[in-house]
Chain A
């Protein structure tokens, strides 16, 4: 116990006593971090999907949609959160809105790329079978665009987890709050622990989404297994 107390006093980088005594604080910050990220990516997806459909429909929309999302991405995060301040005040909605705007760039581009890569024959075949435009989208185009869409979701999620920390400027930054609070007293253990948790969170989220992607697109694995079997057969 004495040794444990010591590491808080001597301000060590790694401190077991810190993890024990502040576990509640760390859990709360992590939970806030996760829900800010999750809400942002989900809203981003809900906004990006119609935008991508609009951009695909005509060149007239494609230019402004892609141009505007690219310009938004250029604005530094601290400036983005500050520009939204008069609209939202000091609220989590401000951070979520900023993060949604950033995620749009990646999500719109990936959804659009995915939809445009759907083979023409697949669409023709579905139309020939009497599929209407809505059923064509949901049952043919969306599943085939899923790998590109999920790749976009993974990139957006990982960068959103990193960007959420900047929300600590208004006290709504999840683990970023702990980093910001620790700075004035040079509290090494807290800065390091929160930073490591942040990176861990990004890695875990990326792996989870990879799992979701595999569940949603089982046919890509079947194809991979079959080509393996083919090469084995040829070797024999």
Chain B
């Protein structure tokens, strides 16, 4: 209880939240970098995955990409960026790393969701005279929606985790509270930072689960 109590004290002390290296600023950095990266990753991965799924090609790419993403350590990629000239580019190296690691789950899940749409359903839609575009918007997209959202959730969790590791190479974000605590042998601060990161990750997951239910295109029909 000792360390946890001290960590709670750290979290409830106003001075720890203010200033350049305060928790409020670090939280802002974390959310900003994560949000920008997730939006960029969606803008890159979703059109590609949805198009490939629509025409039914590129399966090997979609599956292998996610396996490669698992084998490459986030820390190594961030470290490589930090010893290259990119290190002087502000948030850019972190954002590139976050996008790199968010794209595979988005791409793979959206692609699998599109290809798992029942063939008989798409054929029935074509038989009713739907064009390729109508088929995509009114049949494939709503049916692939659950898998797309699963991918979005995995990507968001990955992004929040990666933004934490960015602190290990000296970049901003909530992880900096943890690394600063390690450097000064301040265990309560380490634990307080870890609690903040864990709560943020769980909150992001919970918000996305809620959003998923709220936006589900089949929701109204199911309840009706």
Residues in A lying within 8 Å of B, measured CB to CB:
71, 73-80, 82-83, 85-86, 155, 158-159, 161-163, 165-166, 168-170, 176, 179-180, 182-183, 186-188, 191-192, 194-195, 198-199, 202-203, 206
Contact = CB atoms under 8 A, between A and B. Distances in A.
Given A76-B165, A195-B73, 18 more contacts: A74-B198, A74-B201, A76-B197, A77-B165, A78-B168, A79-B164, A80-B194, A158-B70, A166-B73, A166-B74, A169-B168, A169-B182, A180-B168, A183-B83, A191-B79, A192-B80, A195-B77, A199-B73
Contacts of B4: 86
Contacts of B157: 73-74
B130 interface: no
Interface in B50-82: 67, 70-77, 79-80, 82
B191 A78 contact: no
Contacts of B79: 179-180, 182-183, 191, 195
B194 A82 contact: yes
Nearest to B3: A86
A75 B198 contact: yes
Contacts of B72: 162, 199
A10 to B, nearest CB: 14
Contacts of A161: 71, 73
A78 B167 contact: yes
Contact of A78 (B71, B170, B197): B197
Interface residues of B, number: 43
B198 A191 contact: no
6 tightest Cβ-Cβ pairs between the two chains A and B = A76-B161, A195-B76, A82-B194, A202-B71, A79-B197, A79-B194
B168 A166 contact: yes
Nearest to B181: A82
B168 A74 contact: no
A86 B191 contact: yes
**Interface on chain B toward A: helix, strand, loop, or mixed SS?**
helix
B201 A79 contact: yes
Given A183-B82, A195-B80, A76 B164 contact: yes
- Select the residue from B168, B181, B201 with max chain A CB neighbours within 10 A: B168
B70 A75 contact: no
Contacts, number: 131
B73 A78 contact: no
**Interface on chain A toward B: helix, strand, loop, or mixed SS?**
helix
26 contacts: A73-B157, A74-B198, A76-B161, A76-B198, A78-B165, A78-B168, A79-B164, A79-B178, A80-B194, A80-B198, A82-B191, A85-B190, A85-B191, A159-B70, A168-B168, A176-B73, A176-B76, A179-B75, A180-B75, A182-B83, A183-B169, A186-B87, A191-B76, A191-B79, A195-B73, A199-B72
Contacts of A159: 70-71
Contacts of A71: 202
A209 to B, nearest CB: 13
